[in-house]
Amino acid sequence: MDDEDVANRKVSFRKCLEHLSGAGKAIGVLTSGGDAQGMNAAVRAVVRMGIYVGAKVYFIYEGYQGMVDGGRNIVEASWESVSSILQVGGTIIGSARCKAFRTREGRLRAAHNLVQRGITNLCVIGGDGSLTGANIFRKEWSGLLEELAQNGEMDKEQVQKHSYLNVVGMVGSIDNDFCGTDMTIGTDSALHRIIEVVDAIMTTAQSHQRTFVLEVMGRHCGYLALVSALACGADWVFLPESPPEEGWQENMCIKLSENRARKKRLNIIIVAEGAIDTQNKPITSEQIKELVVKQLGYDTRVTILGHVQRGGTPSAFDRILASRMGVEAVVALLQATPETPACVVSLSGNQAVRLPLVECVQMTQDVQRAMDERRFKDAVRLRGRSFESNLNTYKRLAIKLPDDQIVKSNCNVAIINVGAPAAGMNAAVRSAVRVGIADGHKMLAIYDGFEGFAKGQIKEIGWGDVGGWTGQGGSILGTKRTLPGKSLEDIAAQMRKHSINALLIVGGFEAYLGLLELSAARDKYEELCVPMVMVPATVSNNVPGSDFSIGADTALNTITDTCDRIKQSASGTKRRVFIIETMGGYCGYLANMGGLAAGADAAYIFEEPFDIRDLQKATSRPCSASAYLHSGTWTRTTVMTTESNVEHLTEKMKTTIQRGLVLRNESCNENYTTDFIYQLYSEEGKGVFDCRKNVLGHMQQGGAPSPFDRNFGTKISARAMQWISTKLKEALGKGKRFMSDDSICVLGISKRNLLFQPVAQLRQETDFEHRIPKEQWWLKLRPLMKILAKYKVSYEVSDSDQLEPMHHRGHEEPAAI
């Protein structure tokens, strides 16, 4: 970049920063409709980002009812008023259905109450009904103000000053029933509640050989039921969008009895509360129970989860999602003009995007219309490619065709786990094995990594062998960090002996290095000239070629849960700062994202160098980070830190929030160790606060996998097997040797898409010394964490403020989970 480019960027930066100023503006934030975990994180982000840019932010209590009633229901928010709410479920500002707001008279009162406080920017967190109401309000705004002026309740100056209303929506709904976003706030947390119950039920069901019918929420959307079924390996699932075919009663009973015949001691059936048959008649959990008891005589119980799914603490995913959406919503409001249509802040892959509210609501209503008209294929398609992909994957994994109906490929496909264990690995193996068998391959399991490969620890693995694997942590196949380099000859001999035609590797950075070594050895060993694909699985999330790795979400939830408990322990003691060390090697993903999810005051990571001045004394110095762009993307820039961490915490102790939380990545600095930082904070904070330290260690690698990791592992591994089957089919009967770069790949999420990237190409994108990718997407969230922790940081914004078209999707596969 030359001097002229730098000068232009500085001018653009100044222009955009001025445009972003919230001085003299007022933002109202409300939650409406059904509550969802993570709404509080969204409220917190809106309040703090609004205050950060100089705007006034108002709580509107009890949703639209509070807006209509006014008075004490509309109160200015302060920075401290949203402290300690990240981990709280529901919504602290209340939510209520409001009949009055549906009338023009009610909206007149609401407009009057907002104008009295100068509020012309509205952030609405709710479902499609709440967002539709907000858009009607926005369209009527100028007419409402004119009517108020005519009635003598407002003067012309006020009408002119508040001439237009800006509206930005965030979707808070546990059902994930809103078209346009991959995930709504609250969905992941609801899945956590469901999977916790399913895991508990499976142990008792196994003891007594019972069948359990679980009813989950989803009156008009089967997302929770579908993903829960995928995540626990349910025998049958009932969805509103995809009713079972005629004669489903007999088919289901055959499936349940076949599973029992395979020595499966339990059956799990998941039912969405809005499940229907092809004639739009309800299918109830009691009806299913009676059928199973009558036809099969199985001991069958019904569990209706109900409002348990709405409750509890939000997951790490929901906290981060809601925080990102909240900040983006404020930016969108400050950028809006009178011509800007109402928009929804959405998630596409791992990117925040803005979509037209009206189009999203229209498509959501189109799904319901398709179901009402019994156009169920259209309903599934309108839900989006992610929903469709989930449904197809579930069908492939749940229902095994008879052996005589599977066309044999005469190919042997091996699967191996490499590196440290990560929660979700077993779900990935199960998925690969079943998709491989369905595609006609003979599936081989390699035990104990490349070490076991060289020793010939290889066995055939069948459909029933992987039953019940999705919910188990660790690696059932066994995994080691050993690389194949020293055993290439033995590995080639084993591949020849077992006639292995393709290899699927599930693992972390060691798996990536192993894949590179196997690729380099292809010239010497023709046995290695087969399709090979790697599925990233590591808590560190440091594999080049993928924004996410299996296991990282589970580790992140462990960190977040631990931080919540630690913060709670400090609430009684007061004036206490906790230093917490996370795993990740040189990759700061867990520390940074854990800090954002837990509301940390600081997170020390290798990717952002720091020195003693940052820790101890007040300073103004640049440090490398990634800057926020209005378009939802980020760029490398300089973040100016104007106060040290100790000074920041000292100031914080003067407020009502008398506790601190600091995360440190285990390898962020070889000299500034956890002990050193603990001792420094203890010394510098004498008389103001005391310190405690915690090293979380291997608990981050253990435990049952989160719903995200189960689903991600299942879907990405199924896709990897489809790729292998396609490659083998192309070579059928040709005796083809696979030598090209595109036959040895890493499969991962890149921005919005699932991509197969040749390992040779990824070599250029890798920092091998520190075992991390050279570019890491999550660094863009770095300034976000600092802003929400009240650090004074500057960030650069682009001129782009365009809404994306609703149907904008690339040609690649969607990366949504």
Range in 415-424, 686-695, 708-717 with the lowest mean pLDDT: 686-695
Q: How confident is the model at residue 202 (pLDDT cuts 50, 70, 90)?
A: confident
Distance between CA 577 and CA 564 in Å, rounded? Answer: 13
What is the pLDDT of the chain when averaged over all its residues? 88
Q: Which one has a higher pLDDT value, 725 or 638?
A: 725
Asked if residue 798 has pLDDT above 60, the reply is: no
Range in 143-152, 294-303, 792-801 with the lowest mean pLDDT: 792-801
Q: Taking residues 443-452, what's their average pLDDT? A: 97
3-state secondary structure of 179: coil
DSSP string, 88-156: --S-TT-----SGGGSHHHHHHHHHHHHHTT--EEEEEE-HHHHHHHHHHHHHHHHHHHHHHHTTSS-H
Q: Taking residues 685-691, what's their average pLDDT? A: 88
Q: Which one has a higher pLDDT value, 394 or 1?
A: 394
Question: What is the CA 438 to chain-centroid distance, rounded?
Answer: 29
Distance between CA 450 and CA 439 in Å, rounded? Answer: 26
**pLDDT tens-place string over residues 714-760:** 999 999 999 999 999 988 766 668 888 899 999 999 887 889 999 99
**Residues flagged as binding site:** 34, 97-98, 127-130, 173-175, 210, 217-219, 273, 301, 307-310, 481, 538-542, 576, 583-585, 666, 692, 698-701, 771
Asked if residue 10 has pLDDT above 60, the reply is: no
Asked if residue 188 has pLDDT above 50, the reply is: yes
Asked if residue 797 has pLDDT above 60, the reply is: no
**pLDDT tens-place string over residues 288-338:** 999 999 999 999 999 999 999 998 999 999 999 999 999 999 999 999 988
Asked if residue 367 has pLDDT above 80, the reply is: yes
Q: Taking residues 564-589, what's their average pLDDT? A: 88
Asked if residue 708 has pLDDT above 90, the reply is: yes
Q: Are 324 and 352 in contact (CB under 8 A)?
A: yes
**pLDDT tens-place string over residues 57-75:** 999 999 999 999 999 999 9
Range in 75-84, 634-643, 764-773, 790-799 with the lowest mean pLDDT: 634-643
Asked if residue 269 has pLDDT above 50, the reply is: yes
Range in 197-201, 455-459, 495-499, 613-617 with the lowest mean pLDDT: 613-617
Q: How confident is the model at residue 15 (pLDDT cuts 50, 70, 90)?
A: very low
Q: Are 406 and 440 in contact (CB under 8 A)?
A: yes
Distance between CA 194 and CA 199 in Å, rounded? Answer: 9
Distance between CA 479 and CA 687 in Å, rounded? Answer: 49
Question: What percent of the chain lies above the pLDDT cut of 70?
Answer: 91
Give 185's DSSP letter.
B
Listed in sequence order, the residues at least 6 apart from 139 whose beta carbon sits closer than 8 Å to its beta carbon are none
Within a 10 A sphere around the Cβ of 44, how many other Cβ atoms?
Answer: 27
Hey, what are 509's tokens? 């950075």
Which element (helix H / strand E) includes 683?
helix 674-684
Within a 10 A sphere around the Cβ of 554, how many other Cβ atoms?
Answer: 26
- CA-nearest of 73, 70, 28, 33 to 46 is 28
Q: Which domains does the chain have, with CATH numbers?
A: 20-184+314-368 (3.40.50.450), 187-310 (3.40.50.460), 402-537+705-770 (3.40.50.450), 552-616+641-701 (3.40.50.460)
Q: How confident is the model at residue 605 (pLDDT cuts 50, 70, 90)?
A: very high
Q: Are 578 and 662 in contact (CB under 8 A)?
A: yes
Hey, what are 17's tokens? 């920063």
**Residues classed as catalytic:** 175
